[in-house]
Chains A and B, each alone.
Chain A
């Protein structure tokens, strides 16, 4: 039996580098924790979401997500957050950002509502940066600008101390480590990300056969995203 649930990792990091002031973006992404489906293959759980982001200032991006796969299962799942550019190097080649947000879910069957706060932090590094410096001369629609590599840590928080049948909720914080890449064009970004989800929690003796780079701990998530800035 395979039950497609997923460890709490419904999407990749949102707007690791904050948008510019008044800049908008729409992002779609797919992917999730890798699982092995017996007699089929190992594959990521096909979570998907649509995100809208708005540059409130050069440092602050506000964003909200609608989780489309969850919706198909009758669950209205919404994520929202604010990404803040904490630090940038002088030439803006490196930076650190932090995201404070939340995720909520509500199902249409039993009206169960959940709320999980999130806190993420990312370091990013731009390469091929010269391309962007000479934008006026070299960059036209569809041509590459600076790309971006990032690593970070994310956390989800479970606020309820008691789970089913009165048992104690052991994991209050679910950590994630991620590494990702933004391949940038002038208006488009292709995002790829790999995430180690709950890398300190056992993935054994459960109905799902998670695939993990950390062996019998957690799961490894694989994500693909497309962003359009305007």
Chain B
């Protein structure tokens, strides 16, 4: 009887492994409580403070939805295109993959800033919310983040965009779909230039930085975000920006690892003194930042 009790106790302890709790949801700091996008009227926290004169005419703002399939379920994804829809078939477009916080209202100043490169409306800029962000349906996962990026590319392709005129810009979490789209080339479009700001190296680096030991990411999360490996397959020009004081994704273990692993000769970097995770444009100066992005795109 005693042996049976011991067996039961030990057995139930092992059964705990069947719980299979994961921490992936902590990677996505999404907010889906809004009922509409407010853009310039948004009163919440913003990803960037920019002067009021970075205006976008209302007729250049196109809010729309597209559909993706995620694990057999159709999800509506919200997106904003800023620019002239008619120019998509003939001019360069920037696809902006935002970070892990809130939704597109939070990143709206980023999109406006990019739409002012050179002059307002010089390039079309497309931004979208990952599933579970803002008004996009579903719950965020690494896979449906890629699906929603691919969906945005499908929309662009349907509007006449080709690979050579697509520049993809990934900020923080957005570096994952950006790098994957260029590295794996498994999306409907293959961008011709890659810009990463404050990128992840991978989930493994995140875990190892926090644990000091060489601990596998699989002990905590299923999400991979293998940017440091994907970037090895990227053969397009690459521009990396990272705040030296980034206290969230260390420039040393994340940013420099990604930059180092890009093996093509055409790459440039900007390690920005004083900048933290979300204020690289501010510390560079908005004009200097804009000029550097413009110069990279047009070079």
Contacts and interface: CB of A to CB of B under 8 A. Distances in A.
A67 to B, nearest CB: 10
Interface in B247-290: 247-253, 257, 261
Interface in A57-78: 66, 68, 70-76
Contacts of B249: 205, 207
A198 B212 contact: yes
Nearest to B210: A5
B213 A174 contact: yes
Interface string B111-125: 000000000000000
B232 to A, nearest CB: 9
B219 A70 contact: yes
A144 to B, nearest CB: 29
A136 interface: no
Nearest to A157: B213
A70 B16 CA distance: 9
Interface of A: 1-8, 50, 66, 68, 70-76, 105, 107-110, 112, 114, 116, 156, 158, 160, 162-165, 167, 169, 171, 174, 198, 201, 204-208
Interface residues of B, number: 49
B213 A116 contact: yes
Interface stretch (B18-26, B35-43, B155-163): B18-26
Contacts of B204: 163-165
A169 B21 CA distance: 28
A6 B246 CA distance: 20
A205 B13 contact: no
B220 interface: yes
| Residue among B208, B246, B251 with most chain A CB within 10 A | B208
Chain A interface secondary structure, helix, strand, loop or mixed? loop
18 contacts: A1-B27, A3-B220, A5-B207, A7-B211, A50-B13, A73-B22, A73-B23, A74-B20, A76-B17, A105-B215, A109-B20, A114-B215, A164-B201, A164-B204, A165-B205, A174-B212, A198-B212, A205-B250
Contact of B23 (A4, A164, A201): A4
Interface in B4-33: 13-14, 16-23, 26-29
A47 to B, nearest CB: 12
B18 to A, nearest CB: 8
Interface in B225-252: 228-229, 245-252
B222 to A, nearest CB: 6
Nearest to B229: A165
A7 B21 CA distance: 19
B100 A1 contact: yes
B207 to A, nearest CB: 5
A74 B214 CA distance: 18
Contacts of A204: 247
A71 B14 contact: yes
B220 A4 contact: yes
Contacts of B208: 163-164
B257 A165 contact: yes
Nearest to A110: B218
A152 B288 CA distance: 54
Given A4-B26, A68-B13, A169 B214 contact: yes
A3 B23 CA distance: 7
B61 interface: no
Interface in B182-235: 201-202, 204-222, 228-229
